[in-house]
Amino acid sequence: MTKITILHNPRCSKSREALALIQTRSNQINVIEYLKNTPSEDEISHILSLLGLSARQLMRTKESEYKELGLDNVNLTEVQLIEAMVNTPKLIERPIVLSNGKAAIGRPPENVLAIIE
C-alpha cells in the first residue's frame, strides 16, 4: 500500500474532512501539521511542480498576513513568495495530500481521492 502524506491543520474543517476521508481508505498516513513543521523552500517548490501551480496559486490570499506582508505585489518572484510561505505557513493552502508521485489540494476534500485510489 502506498504511503499518503497530508499537510494538515487540525483547526481547519476541510483539512479534518480530507484526513477522515483518507483514513477510510488507508492506514499508511503520514500526518504533518505544517504550522508546526513547516515545509522547506525545496519541499514547497516540489509540491508546486506536482500540483502544476504557481506559488501565488498555493497561497491563501484572503489571510490578513498576505496583504500586511505586501504579498499582493505582482512584482514578487516565485522564490520570494515561496520564502513567504516558509516564514508564514498560515499562508499555505490546505490541506495538501501527496501520494503516488502526485499532489492534490483537498478543497473540496474529495479532490484527494484522485491521487490515493
Active site positions, annotated: 12
Q: Evaluate whether 91 touches 39 at the Cβ level (below 8 Å).
A: no
Residue 47, H or E segment: helix 41-51
Residue 39, H or E segment: none
C-alpha to C-alpha distance for 106 and 42, rounded to whole angstroms: 21
